Structure 1
Amino acid sequence: MDSVDHILTLAPALSVDFHDACDEAHRLASGERGVPDEDQLVADLSQVLLPGWDDEWLVLERERWDQLRLYALEALAQRFQSEGRHLSALQTSHAAVSIDPFRETPHRIAVEVHLAEGNVACAVKRYQDYRRLLQLELKVAPSLRLTRLVRDLTRT
């Protein structure tokens, strides 16, 4: 660290893990491949920005970070799903749900993964849990796209 005119700066050889995670998240969200350590990236993207701080300026920065990491986690979960890496896809979709439990995309990915594995009961339960959450909290239903995935599974 250097101090120039009473301003602290990091030495060029240092990196900031938040900046690194943002760069990787942007690459993922834009569809780029080649994430070096996917497990570490999921862990990094699961972190809240400056937990315990309640400064007013952080509200917008946290929202930006949350949106970026949601898109990146969803892109990574979809990639895992397309590669048949079911456990990684589920864990990554769960990380996205923990950021925003109302966002449908990670729930849909989890339902699709369960169906791909042949775990029909798990897919239906995941859908029903999400539907209950939406109804209880927001008085809305899941999208038709998600509903179609499980609609015919509960008919006997």
Structure 2
Amino acid sequence: MSWNGARLEILRPFEFTHASKRICIPLGAQRLLAFLALQNDDVHRSSAAEQLWPDCTTFRAAANLRCALCYGRRVGSVTVIDSVGQRLMLSPAVKVDLHAVSGAARQIIAGSGQMSHGWEELVGDLSRELLPGWTDNWLDLERERWNQTRVYALEGLAQQFQAAGQYLPALQAALAAIAVDPIRETAHRIVIEVHIAEGNIASAIKRYLDYQSFLQRELNVSPSPQMARLVRDLMPM
């Protein structure tokens, strides 16, 4: 069922839709909407202006904020930004893709999320970057938070499928986690364990050797003893 209200997508290039129609919004208003979507609570106008336009004077940043509010406060008949005194927040009437995916991710991490037939869509959503191409400094911490959340969720999903003997989705989820953080070992171990469970010994050994070479090249370290034990008895003498 399509959503006919306002929808903000930030797990991809910025897109705002209303009644299933894409709405063209100026860049300043885009940045304000995205910034508010990433806040856990309302935010003071001065704080929003300072973070969104850090290289401007206080006067210029405040003017930029007023301009962004002019274009972004309402879309048609829908209030997009709620303003109470000096506080701003994204209206609850706006659905944000990140909020829905983050909720599903937290359930998986907590162990309460259930595997479903929509796993491919979920893995795809968790594979998406936060506002790709944007270089704003205020996004750095938000991207790090999102990356940590989605890696843990993808690993949890992979472990669920692995335990259930559903090896293809386990591999897909683990490989998606590796794409986000190729240094982290957990997802690599899952891939090796799945290959071994399927009897694909050569694939398991290749994954281990590739990861070993990667760590040596990037950090001059070796995989953990726990990972080495997975393939110790499989390696040729």
> What TM-score, normalized by structure 2, do the two folds share?
0.62
Aligned identity (percent) is: 50
* 2:129 counterpart of 1:19: no
Per-residue deviation, 1:152: 1.0
Return the offset for 1:39. 1.5
Aligned length: 155
Deviation sequence 1:106-148 (CA, Å, 0-9, x none): 0000000000000000000000000000001100000000100
Structure 1 window deviating more from structure 2 (2-11 vs 26-35): it is 2-11
Q: 1:148 to 1:8 in 2, by over 3 A?
A: closer
User: Aligned in 2, Cα 1:111/1:57: closer, same or farther, shift over 3 Å?
Assistant: same
User: Once superposed, which parts of structure 1, at least 4 consecutive aligned residues long, lie more than 3 Å away?
Assistant: 3-12
Decide whether aligned partners of structure 1 residues 118 and 57 sit closer, same or farther in structure 2, where only a CA change above 3 A counts: same
Any residues of structure 2 matched to 1:1-156 within 5 Å, and which?
Answer: 1-2=78-79, 4-5=82-83, 9-10=90-91, 12=93, 14-36=94-116, 37-156=118-237
The answer to which of 37-46 and 116-125 deviates more is 37-46
Q: Which amino acid aligns with 2:223?
A: P
Letter in 2 for 1:155: P
How far residue 16 of structure 1 moved from its aligned partner, in angstroms, is 1.4
The structure with the greater share of residues assigned to strand is: 2
2:115/2:157 contact within 8 Å kept: no
1:40 Cα deviation after fit:
1.1
The 8 Å contact of residues 49 and 65 in structure 1, kept in 2 or not, is answered as yes
Contact kept? 1:24, 1:35, Cα under 8 Å? no
Deviation of residue 34 (structure 1)?
A: 2.5
Give the gaps of 5 or more residues in structure 2. 1-77
Q: Which has the higher helix share?
A: 1
Unaligned 5+ segments in structure 1 are none
* Alpha carbons of structure 1 residues 63 and 4: separation in structure 2 relative to 1, 3 Å: closer
Return the alpha-carbon distance in structure 2 between the equivalents of residues 101 and 58 of structure 1: 21
SS class of match (2:95): coil
TM-score, normalising length: structure 1: 0.93
**Counterparts of 1:47 and 1:29, CA distance in 2:** 18
Deviation at 1:11, TM superposition (A): 5.1
